[in-house]
Chains A and B, each alone.
Chain A
């Protein structure tokens, strides 16, 4: 079947189309800096998009839950073994991606008889000085780094809009609560660009936050804890909802 070059490229191309089609309806994950670190944020009808990976690393993902779980466990195993065998400081996202995840994901297009991984990821790492580094990993293993934040989403209209906003708004100067409100605005404006009847998104941000699941991972380098990753507290979520009344 794949003995002719054309057949091979056709199979790879079909695979790209298949994965993109499957990811198209995924709700976005935003990775955004603030003045004391960075956070990941996802809003959707279901949970299962944002996870803590290591002391200074968190992961956001969209795609098939089973594939997200495989990526998550791979990162967890690698980071904990590295942190134990060497040092916490040696657990660096760039290395985990370069030598672990990216080659494995590339198999999506080398073993074309196997089902591809339906997954795309946004990851964040905050160093001891509070500098945040953002990563976007595609389903084919290609990965990129960003300093001003990044986004993953099924629709390119949304991701292009959010990327443009991230390059214009100085999120890294904002305190967490303000950055979260701005992120909610960004999420809503981005979703409005692709909104259609089938999306069924509630009208206001307040209603969205009330009815849907807000997932977050906040990485604050000023915390005294060994692991700087945490979720928002109930009080912080309540304040965010109150601030989002008019969005």
Chain B
């Protein structure tokens, strides 16, 4: 990089800065890659998000698998991107973590260099762009990522949830969404809870939302080997975060342990 000669054609674009310094996204190297055995790659997940009374909850299990092997039980699948957004990842962690890192630097670089935060629409499109550039890897079956992106829009004063397909198409979710290998097991339960539960999802408070998320992840783990159950004896619990006007907030381990114990009891709550 030439010091003091930093005119970017798109001001505040961290991707452009990266490319100028020699970085290229994986799909740009497709011609040089051999097809990999996808069963050897780490993947598998259940992540979910829904609107509740105080904002948005985003939660995920902690397991990473490669084929039939459990590779890791401490995987943080909900990643803070900037003060007002989180990304939950399902799919190939290598690509997903890289995307989160690019996004995080992208948003912060824009905010610091342009002296104003990137708009919510800009943030949402930035993830679409990364997914689009990853299509080649996804088509090879080795780098597919299916993320959930949740953020608080400071202009509009409200949180939002966005689901993406592998090609980068973005869909705003007004109630709830689940993705990952364990999602088919709980998608219907979430819809049922919203339609016929004691309260709609959007009417539940923080504790009720966390309890439901915990139960859903437990249920998904019961049927899907790639989704990890909580292991209180090893202090491993799902990761739960909230998006509110104050930005993102992660539930700390002590609170999660209490919520877990409560949510696993057989009682009618909501």
Which residues of A line the B interface, CB within 8 A?
51-55, 70-71, 73-74, 76-78, 80-81, 83-85, 100-101, 103-104, 224-227
Q: A53-B112, A81-B1 are in contact. Are A73 and B17 (CB under 8 A)?
A: no
Q: Is B6 an interface residue (CB 8 A)?
A: yes
Q: Is B105 an interface residue (CB 8 A)?
A: yes
Q: Is B170 an interface residue (CB 8 A)?
A: no
Smallest Cβ distance from A204 to chain B, in angstroms? 30
Q: Which single member of A80, A81, A103, A224 contacts B108 (CB below 8 Å)? A: A80
Pairs A-B, 6 closest by C-beta atoms: A104-B3, A84-B105, A73-B6, A80-B109, A104-B4, A77-B6
Smallest CB gap from B21: residue in A: A81
Q: Is B14 an interface residue (CB 8 A)?
A: yes
Which residues of B line the A interface, CB within 8 A?
1, 3-4, 6, 14, 17-18, 21, 23, 80, 83, 101-102, 104-105, 108-109, 112-113, 115, 247, 249
Q: A81-B17, A81-B18, A84-B18 are in contact. Are A70 and B4 (CB under 8 A)?
A: yes
Cα distance, A224 to B101, chains bound together (Å): 19
Can you report 8 residue pairs joining A to B where beta carbons are below 8 Å apart? A74-B6, A77-B1, A81-B17, A81-B18, A85-B21, A85-B23, A225-B83, A227-B108
Interfacial chain B residues near A78, Cβ < 8 Å:
1, 3
**In contact, B3 and A74 (Cβ under 8 angstroms):** yes
Interfacial chain A residues near B115, Cβ < 8 Å:
51
Q: A80-B108, A84-B105 are in contact. Are A73 and B113 (CB under 8 A)?
A: yes
Smallest CB gap from B3: residue in A: A104
Smallest Cβ distance from A99 to chain B, in angstroms? 9
Smallest CB gap from B14: residue in A: A80
**In contact, B105 and A83 (Cβ under 8 angstroms):** yes
Smallest Cβ distance from A54 to chain B, in angstroms? 8
Cα distance, A36 to B23, chains bound together (Å): 37
Interfacial chain B residues near A103, Cβ < 8 Å:
3
Interfacial chain A residues near B83, Cβ < 8 Å:
225-227
Smallest Cβ distance from A136 to chain B, in angstroms? 19
Interfacial chain A residues near B113, Cβ < 8 Å:
73, 76
Interfacial chain B residues near A101, Cβ < 8 Å:
3
Cα distance, A221 to B3, chains bound together (Å): 30
Interfacial chain A residues near B104, Cβ < 8 Å:
226
**In contact, B101 and A84 (Cβ under 8 angstroms):** yes
Interfacial chain A residues near B14, Cβ < 8 Å:
80, 84
Smallest Cβ distance from B118 to chain A, in angstroms? 14
Smallest Cβ distance from B110 to chain A, in angstroms? 10
Interfacial chain B residues near A52, Cβ < 8 Å:
112
Cα distance, A53 to B115, chains bound together (Å): 11
Smallest CB gap from A226: residue in B: B80
Interfacial chain A residues near B18, Cβ < 8 Å:
81, 84
Interfacial chain A residues near B4, Cβ < 8 Å:
70-71, 74, 104
Smallest Cβ distance from A206 to chain B, in angstroms? 28
Cα distance, A73 to B2, chains bound together (Å): 12
Interfacial chain B residues near A54, Cβ < 8 Å:
112
Smallest Cβ distance from B194 to chain A, in angstroms? 31
Cα distance, A226 to B82, chains bound together (Å): 8
Q: Which of B1, B3, B14, B17 has most chain A Cβ within 10 Å?
A: B3
Cα distance, A226 to B102, chains bound together (Å): 15
Smallest Cβ distance from A80 to chain B, in angstroms? 5
Smallest CB gap from A70: residue in B: B4
Smallest Cβ distance from B119 to chain A, in angstroms? 19
Cα distance, A71 to B17, chains bound together (Å): 16
Q: Which of B4, B6, B17 has most chain A Cβ within 10 Å?
A: B4
**In contact, B112 and A76 (Cβ under 8 angstroms):** yes
Cα distance, A73 to B3, chains bound together (Å): 9
Cα distance, A159 to B9, chains bound together (Å): 40
Cα distance, A55 to B83, chains bound together (Å): 12
Not counting A51-B115, A80-B14, A85-B23, a sample of 20 additional A-B residue pairs whose C-beta atoms are within 8 angstroms of each other reads A51-B112, A52-B112, A55-B108, A70-B4, A73-B6, A73-B113, A74-B3, A74-B4, A74-B6, A76-B112, A77-B6, A80-B109, A81-B21, A83-B105, A84-B101, A103-B3, A104-B3, A224-B249, A225-B83, A226-B80
Cα distance, A73 to B12, chains bound together (Å): 10
Smallest CB gap from A104: residue in B: B3
